[in-house]
Amino acid sequence: MLGNKDAMATIAVKDIAIAKKFYEEKLGLQTLESAQEGVLSYQSGKTGMVVYVSQYAGTNRATSATWAVGDDFDSIMQTLKAKGVTFEHYDLPGLVREGDVHVAGTFKGAWFKDPDGNILHILNQ
């Protein structure tokens, strides 16, 4: 039923203006037209992403969105760092940390937070 349909990340924020600045200036996403106040829509690859105002913003303690960036992983890490993004460090089974990157074999992953504390993730797959 849903196996051949695209899914999208839906991320709650407290302040839409602060979120807009982060998602556009730090992550390089472009806003799509939205008919709803307090809602930002983005195209990210072949899927969409919605950022919306909610009183529950930042309460999720798990990953909210993941980008599979392939061979661009290292250059994206450098760009995010240059834009002031701070990476999270976790103790995860089977992964070792090399600087800000969590590694297992050929897998590389990094986690960071938006201004509301939503956890975002990039990986090299």
* Res 120: pLDDT: 97
The DSSP code sequence of the chain is --TTS---EEEEES-HHHHHHIIIIIT---EEP-SSTTEEEEEETTEEEEEEE-TTTT---SEEEEEE-GGGHHHHHHHHHHTTPPEE----TT-EEETTEEEETTEEEEEEE-TT--EEEEE--
CATH superfamily of 9-123: 2,3-Dihydroxybiphenyl 1,2-Dioxygenase, domain 1 (3.10.180.10)
What's the pTM value of the predicted model, to 2 decimals?
0.93
pLDDT digits over 63-122, tens only? 999 999 999 999 999 999 999 999 999 999 999 999 999 999 999 999 999 999 999 999
